[in-house]
Structure formats: C-alpha cells, structure tokens
Amino acid sequence: MGADSDEEDFVVYGTPIEREEDTSARKRRAIAEAGQLRALPAWKQEVRDEEGRRRFHGAFTGGYSAGFYNSVGSKEGWTPQTFSSSRKNRAELKKQSIYSFLDEEDIKDMGGNALETSQQYDTFGFTAAEYARKQASKEQKERPSAIPGPIPDELVIPTTNSIGVKLLMKMGWRQGRSIKDSHADSLYESRRNARKAFLALSDVKNDKDQDQIDSDKPSLDQSVVGSFDEMRASGSTPVHVLHPKQDLHGLGYDPFKHAPEFRDRKRLQKSRERDHKRNDVSGRGILLISNSGHYAPGFGIGALEELDVEDEDIYASGFAYEQTEVDIEPSKTSDGNYKLDDRKRGIFLSFKIASNSEYKLERFPSPEIPVDFDGRHKFPPPAQPAEKVSDLAPPEVPPPEDSTLRLLIEGCAAMVARCGKHIEDFYKEKSKTNPQFHFLSGGDGCSYYMRKLWEHQLRYTGQPRPVDVKSKPSSDKLTAENRGRILGERPLDISTKPQNSLSAKEAVQLQSNLIDTFVKPITLDALPESEKPFRNDPAKQARFEQFLKDKYQGGLRTANVAPVSTMSEADRARERLDFEAAAEAIEKGKEKDIKPSSVLPLPGLNDQRFISATQLESSIVPQDERPIYPRREQFEWRPAPILCKRFDIVDPFMGKPMPVQRPRSKIENLIFMTESTMGTKDKEESSSRSSHDASSVAGITEAEAQGTTNDPDVKLSSVQRPVDLYKAIFSDDSDDDTDEIVNHQPVDPVKTSEGANMALNRLAAEDFLESLGKEFGLEVPPERPNVLFRSETLSVAGASVSSQNEKVATTYMEVKENQSSRGMVEVGNANEDAPLANTGKLDLKYEKRERITEENSSRPLHQQNQNHSPDSDSSSERHRSRKRRSHHRTRSRTPESDSSTERHSSRRRKSHSRHRRARSRTPDADSPSDTQHEERKRKEKRRNRAYTPDADSSGHEYKERNKSSSRRSSDKDRSRKHSRHHKHRRKDHAEYS
C-alpha cells in the first residue's frame, strides 16, 4: 500500500469520514438518486426496490428476467392453484389479515409493529360497551356469582368509556371536567394538587367518591350516589345523569323552564337536605354549596376548584342568587342552616346580612268596588242622534195634489234621508223665500214629507245596519261632508242657480243627480266612431259624451251640467233618459261580450256592442258539445306477461315488441298497407259486405286493368322491392319521416323515373338487402340464380318449388287453413302484415317468423273482432277474397316469367312484380264508388269507436295512399330512406330478433 507509506509523512488531524462499507454500491446509488428522483416530474420517476433494482418495466424493457423475477416467481408469472378435493379438505374459512396484502418490504417498514384493528376502538363507545359486556359475561362464567341465574347480568350493565373519553383521561382529563385547559398555570396546578391532598385526607366518603370519579368505570347511578359528584359535574361539562322524578309536579312540567339557573339551585338544596338527613355533616359539602353560588354557567371550572376564592372570580357570573328568592318550596331548616353556614364561613367578608330585606312583599288591600258598579260595559249613546231613525212611523198621508210638489217632496226626502239632517236645514235656510219649500218648515205637505222622509230613512238605514254593526264606531261620525272632503269632492253649490228658476222639475233633476252621486269609475276610452248613438246630432253627441264621461269618471257627479238655454226642462229630462238608456245599452253590450270572451282583453266598446255571428256561434258551440256521460273510450293496454300467466290467459301481446307510437305513423298507412290490414277492414265492414263485395270485385278488376295499363311506366318508375322489408322492419318510423315522404309524393311524377335513376335505386336497394341479410345472419345468395329461380316458381305458380320455399309456403298455407277453418281474421297492425308469398328468400324467412307470432296471438284478436263485428260468414268471405287475391297474384306475375332470360330485365321485373303486388293489395279502393262508400263507413266507425286507431287511421289515409301509390318513389326519397334504414337497422334488428 503506497498510501500507507505516504501517510507516514503527514500528520492527520481529526477523524476521517467513515466510509459505509456495508452498504452496497447500488444501494448507495439509490439513496443518492433518491434526492434527484424526487425532483423529477412524476412520469420520469422510477420505482426501485431496496436493492435499487427497477421493479416495474414498460412493455419493451425488462425482458424475460424482469418478467420472471419481478412477478410472483414462476415461469407463467403466477402459479395456478392446485386442485384440492373439497370432500377431504372442507373449505375452511380463510381469514385475511392485513399481512395478506403486504409484502416483506411493507412489513419491514412497519418496523415490527403489528397493525390491527382494535376491537375496542370505537368513537362512540358502542362496540366497546359491547365488548365490555362480553368480557364481563366471560368473567362471570369463570367465577360463579352470588346470585345465580342470568339476572345480574341483565341488571348490572358493565360500561366502558369510549375511546375519546379514554384518551382524554390519559391526557389528564377527568369526568365532569372541562375540556378546555383553563389552568395551565403551574402555580395553580401546585395549589390544586395541595388541595387534592387535603381532600384526600379530609373525608373517607369523599375519598370513595374520588376513587369512583378517577376510576375508569364510572357508576351509572352517579346522580343517585351523591351530591358531591353532582356538584362537581355541574361545574363544567355535563355528565349524563339520571334524574329520578322526586317532585310533585305533573309529568313533563318544568317549573324552571324559563329560569334554568334556578334549577341547579334547587337541586343543590335538595341534595343538601339529603346530606343533612344522612347526618353527613361534613362542612365541606355545605361549604361547596355556598361557594358554588357563583359558579359559571359554562365551561371553565374543574371539579375541584371550589375551594379557592380567587378562582371563583374568574367565571363569576356577576351576581349571586338570593337564596330566599330561589326557593320554590323553601324548607325552613335547610334555609336557616344555610345562612348560618354562610355566616360561619364568613365568605362575604365585607357584607353583612341586612336586617331588613329589600324585597319585602307588599300587600295591598283589594280595591273597593263602588256600589253602583256594573259588570258590563255600557257604550255611550251615539254622538249624532239626528241620524237615528225615529221608530215611530208618521201616519200615512195621501200625497199632495200638485205633482211637482210631490216630486219635490219625495226628492228632498230621499236626499235628506241619504245625507242627513243638515241638508234639510240647509234647504230650509236657502229656500225660505221659496213657497214651494214650505213643507220643510211645516207648511203645505209637511206631513207627507215627514212620512216620505221616514220611509227613505228606513230604507237607507235598513241596508247599512248590518254593516254598521261591524264597522268601527268612528265611522259613525262620518257624514257626507266629511266623506266629501276626504274624497276631495266639490261641495254641491246649489246657490249658483238662479233662485227664481228653481222649479220643481229642476229640483227633481238635482235630486236625480245626487241620487246616483257615486258612480263606478270605469276607464272609458274615447268612443269609437260607430259607438256614437247620436251621430246625426253633434251637439247632442257631445252632451252624451259629457254624460258618459261624468258617468264613468266616478266620484261625485258634477252638478253644474251646463244648461243649454235653448232646451226646455222637459227636453233635457228626455235627453237625459235617452242618455241613460244608451249608456245602459253600451254597458250591456259590454257585459254580454265579456261573458263569452272573458279571456280576451276588451279591444274597444265597438267589439263589445256588436258581436259577430260567428263569434257568437263559436261561443255557443262548446256548450252544445258538452260531453254526454257516460262516455266510452278504448285504448290499447298491455298486461304484463306474468299477469296474464297468473290470470291464466294467453298474453295478447305475446312476442310482440312494445309499440312506439304505433298508430300515429302515417308511413305505415300510406305505403305499407298490407293484406292483414285489408283483411281487418274487410271484416269490419262485413255488415254491408254482400252488396259491397261485388263492387269490390269490380274494383279489383278495375285496378288490375289500371295496373296493366300503367305497367310500362310503373316498371320504370319505382323500385318497390324493399318496401315490404322496410315496412316489416321499420314500421314505426317517426312522423317527420312520413311528412317528408308525403310532401315528396306529389312532387314526383311518373315521368321523372329515368333509367339511370332506376338503376341507382335498384343498386341501392340490393345493397341494402344484402347488408340486411348479413345483419340477420342469413345467407344472401347471389342475385341471379335467386331471381331466376323465383321467376320459375312464379311461373309455375307455387306448384314445384325448392324444398325450402315449399316448406315455407306450406307452413304458410297451414296457417291460412287454420285461420280460415276457425273463421280467423287477420287483425293487427300494419307491421305484422302477411304479404303473400314473398319473393325474396330472406323475406320468406322473415315472414315465417312473423306468421308464427301472428298465429300465436291471433286467437284473442279474433275474439276481439268478433266482439265488434260478429260475422258469421267471415270465413267464406275470407276464402273468397284470398282466392281472388292469389289468383290475381299469379296473373300479375305470369307475364313477367316470359322474359326471364336477361338478368337485368329479370331484376327489373322482380322489382316491378313487387310493386305490382303492393298495388294489387289494395284493389277495391281503386274504384271510386267503393272508396266513397268505404269512407262513409269509416267516418261512422271513427265516430263510434275511437279505439281502433290502427284501422281507422289506416282507413283515413287509405285513399290518399292509393292515389299516390303509383308515383311514390322518387330516388331522393329512396336514398333518404335507405340511409335512415341503415341508421336504424341495428336497433330494429335487436328488437325483432
């Protein structure tokens, strides 16, 4: 070692840094890197084990060894569990511990400290209590108890404290003490310790209590045990104590409800009494009591601080309770003792007991009741006796001969009765000179006036009397003048009128003006032109408007209606009457209008007055159409399959998917009209069938003829092949689709169908078919042989077919036979139609499935049908129609089989044949008479039965459909449909499979 030799020359100071020889290089590196790693972002950090090896590798790092060693350690990465017979080795309960989830490293990290959930750990102490009970029972089993049997176990419930309490106790807290550490003071601490020592020595019993407090098992009946605990407990944190009912109050009655501070007082006193009874005359308890007159209401003072006077002050509530006041049931002896104690103690050093208490209960003699005192209160008589109606009725007097005078008297009487006596005085004074007003001052007609006045008063007071009873007495003083002032009215100024012109008539007018003094304020818009009833007389109209304005203005009517000099009094009166009538008419018109059209805001008086006939009608019509009960409606309702089963009924909807807005789809009825629906219709119309039949046959022939004539066009125009499929699968298209299609139908004439379009359509349709077949998991054979084969079949008209087709056909025929023999009718929705032998193999397959489901569900349906239209010869009818149809089918197809050489043409024909068939399904409707007839019938039906929406709606669209059937398919339509079908296919497939 060269270094050693060198070292001899140097003097070495200090100790060299010791190299950690034991740590491996890797570990050192790991440690060194740890610091660096921590600085790295999370995705760059690497996980290493204690040896510094990388434990986790990516997909391309690590290699075999990493895979081998870093995993469980087998070649496979894990070792499959070996079989063990459950017969020999009964499945034992595997107990998982936390170690099952830890590896050595983790265990090492734990440092040998076993981690386990403690049974005793419980925040709320419930489990702990349970545990303690178990422990106790275990103990009890071990040692036989004094009382045999299970009773003591139930009686004495061992308790434990919750973990929280235990922790607190470990930290020095004791029961009943505040959690808040208020006395951190060391001086205080030492003083307290000293006191504790003193206490310990002072009394045996207290000692016992102390033990009890400090022990981890506080007794349940703490409150019963003694006042001492209680007192200490009350010093701070409330210990749950049981208060036995000891007073004589009613259950639940709390005399200290609103003064809880007295409750403790009371309790203390009670306990002290008890202490006295027990002859436990230790001065300390009393001493405590006297001190704790100042205890704080909240936290703060611990259990043992009572001795210190200084401490008391800290939380002194600032007032001491006077014992005598507090006592609800004062007991003389205890009270005396208490005070004596106080004095002995000399706590209140600077205070003396007052010789005379401040709180002297003063007693007053009861007030003397005056001799004339009456228990009831008598209200003073009303302030205005003038208003009261004289009970005595003046004798009935015949009216004076002078009619003007009579009118005047009556008007005046009404006025006076209305407004009060002062008006009379006013009149009297004003018209002293007027001889006509002599009746007021006892002249001519005075007695009549009195009588009239009485009558009017009676009338006016009679009405408001019940109201007056309720109204405030202050309203008694409200005279007309007051009211006028309150309302800001102008006082009547009669004096403006010339004295001499005061005729009886004018007086009447004045009176009439006053009678309806208050009119309802209605905002009156400017009268429309047509509203003017006096159009020919503009001056009169102006006056009328003025009148209306006055009338509707509300408030007091203006008395000074500018008298037109040219008009006589009589004219004016007549005019006024006219105005009244006109106004009334307007108002009535308004009311009449308001009633029916109360919703609409009033556009103007004009509309209100003149109601158009149509409007009136419309308002009346709903009244006529009041629903007549009972009213019957029917809907489809789906019983749950299990319900059907439990009712022992075949589910009418068995195997049918849930309808999605079934009858609302127009597309169904428009395009996908099929035999089944036709059949339904035939059935339903069976009552008039016999007459109808001939015409329908005629219709068929007609339709056929039309079909043949239209053939060339149709052939070119539409590719109808996928329609059945569409219908079968996508029968519930939403309405918007339908609308689109409907919209497009008339747009697209037959002429637009060109060769190119057709080819495109066909291609799209075929593509679609093929893809659909794949979706269904069916083999779609290449196009050509299928087509050829089909045409062949068609030419032979079902005589010799391939095995598969035959089978399908026979099953189908069987179904048919069954149905006909049972008088079955195909009823149902358009989506379960039964197209006669479909051309496509795929179609056939699908069809078969459909047929089967229909067969299953056809029984109840049939019954339903029978219910509605009992038809005896339905089966024969059915037969006939079917025969007809099949015949027609074969006929329509035979010409096509002639030219089945070329593929293209055959394909075209195929598509066409499909189209033809679709057409031929609705033959009878093509004849116009038939259609009309049907429509009528359908209308009736619709009225009668709203419950067959399918058939009805289909019927509704029936005509439309026939009209548009020949020119239905624009390529635009088709392409859209196609794409949509692609979209929906998956869903529908799922639904149908």
Partner 1 sequence: MSSAAAQHLPRKESRELLGHEGAVLAVRFNRDGNYCLSCGKDRTLRLWNPHTGALVKTYKSHAREVRDVHSSSDNAKLVSCGADRQIFYWDVSTGRVIRKFRGHNSEVNSVKFNEYNAVVVSAGYDRTVRAFDCRSQSSDPIQTIDTFQDSVMSVILTKTEIIAGSVDGTVRTFDIRMGRETVDNLGHPVNCISLSNDSNCLLANCLDSTVRLLDKTTGEMLQEYKGHACKVSLNIILVFFEDVLGVANASFKMDCCLTNDDAYVVGGSENGYIFFWELVDAPVVASFRAHSSVVTSISYHPTKACMLTSSVDGSVRVWN
> What angle do helix axes 689-717 and 874-898 make, rounded to 10 degrees?
20
CA-based Rg of the chain, rounded to a whole angstrom? Answer: 56
Q: Out of 136, 199, 644, 780, point to the residue binding partner 1 (CB under 8 A).
A: 644
To the nearest 10°, report the CA torsion of 189, 192, 196, 197: 80
Residue with tokens 């009964």: 90
Q: Does 588 bind partner 1 (CB under 8 A)?
A: no
φ/ψ region of 258 (left if φ > 0, alpha if ψ in -120 to 50, else beta) reads alpha
Complex with partner 1: residue 62 or 652, whichever CB lies closer: 652
Q: Does 629 bind partner 1 (CB under 8 A)?
A: yes
Q: State how far the Cα of 619 lies from the Cα of 594, in Å rounded to an integer.
A: 11
Complex with partner 1: residue 306 or 950, whichever CB lies closer: 950
Complex with partner 1: residue 94 or 631, whichever CB lies closer: 631
Residues 6 or more apart whose Cβ sits within 8 Å of residue 660: 732
Sequence-distant contacts of 218-223: CB under 8 A, at least 24 apart:
218/159, 218/161, 218/175, 220/157, 220/159
Complex with partner 1: residue 331 or 866, whichever CB lies closer: 866
Q: Does 652 bind partner 1 (CB under 8 A)?
A: yes
Output the smallest distance, CB 629 to partner 1, in A.
Answer: 4
Binding piece for partner 1, criterion CB under 8 A, among 60-68, 111-119, 644-652, 781-789:
644-652
Range 41-100, binding partner 1 (CB under 8 A):
none
Output the smallest distance, CB 639 to partner 1, in A.
Answer: 4
Q: Out of 194, 577, 649, 705, point to the residue binding partner 1 (CB under 8 A).
A: 649
Q: Out of 57, 343, 344, 638, point to the residue binding partner 1 (CB under 8 A).
A: 638
Q: Does 637 bind partner 1 (CB under 8 A)?
A: yes
Q: Does 624 bind partner 1 (CB under 8 A)?
A: no
Output the smallest distance, CB 824 to partner 1, in A.
Answer: 16
- Amino acid (1-letter code) at residue 170: K
Nearest alpha-carbon partner for 712 in 745, 768, 756, 753: 753
Site string for partner 1, 940-979 (x = CB under 8 A): -------x--------------------------------
| The residue count for the chain | 993
Output the smallest distance, CB 937 to partner 1, in A.
Answer: 20
CB-count burial class (<10 Å; 0-12, 13-18, 19+) for 154? exposed
Output the smallest distance, CB 180 to partner 1, in A.
Answer: 48
Output the smallest distance, CB 651 to partner 1, in A.
Answer: 8
Q: Does 648 bind partner 1 (CB under 8 A)?
A: yes
Q: Out of 68, 299, 653, 789, point to the residue binding partner 1 (CB under 8 A).
A: 653
Binding piece for partner 1, criterion CB under 8 A, among 246-254, 556-564, 624-632, 965-973:
624-632
CA angle (845, 861, 921) in 5-degree steps: 55
Output the smallest distance, CB 635 to partner 1, in A.
Answer: 5
Residues 6 or more apart whose Cβ sits within 8 Å of residue 672: 723, 724, 726, 727, 731, 830, 831, 833
| Structure token pair of residue 830 | 């358009």
Q: State how far the Cα of 171 lies from the Cα of 888, in Å rounded to an integer.
A: 105
Complex with partner 1: residue 179 or 650, whichever CB lies closer: 650
Which backbone phi and psi does 333 adopt, to 5 degrees? -65, -50
Q: Out of 635, 755, 756, 993, point to the residue binding partner 1 (CB under 8 A).
A: 635
Range 861-920, binding partner 1 (CB under 8 A):
863-864, 867
Complex with partner 1: residue 798 or 860, whichever CB lies closer: 860
Q: Out of 627, 755, 782, 785, point to the residue binding partner 1 (CB under 8 A).
A: 627
Q: Does 687 bind partner 1 (CB under 8 A)?
A: no
Q: Out of 300, 400, 596, 860, point to the residue binding partner 1 (CB under 8 A).
A: 860
Output the smallest distance, CB 599 to partner 1, in A.
Answer: 24
Q: Does 660 bind partner 1 (CB under 8 A)?
A: no
Which backbone phi and psi does 167 adopt, to 5 degrees? -60, -45
How many residues interact with partner 1 (rule CB under 8 A)? Answer: 28
Concatenated DSSP letters of 936-949? HHHHHHHHH-TT-H
Centroid of chain to Cα 547: 56
Binding piece for partner 1, criterion CB under 8 A, among 374-382, 642-650, 910-918, 965-973:
642-650
The single-letter DSSP state of residue 294 is G
683 close to 827: Cβ distance less than 8 angstroms: yes
Q: State how far the Cα of 674 lies from the Cα of 905, in Å rounded to an integer.
A: 26
Q: Does 639 bind partner 1 (CB under 8 A)?
A: yes
Output the smallest distance, CB 829 to partner 1, in A.
Answer: 12
Q: State how far the Cα of 817 lies from the Cα of 502, in Å rounded to an integer.
A: 110
Binding site for partner 1 (CB under 8 A): 627, 629-640, 642-644, 646-650, 652-653, 860, 863-864, 867, 947
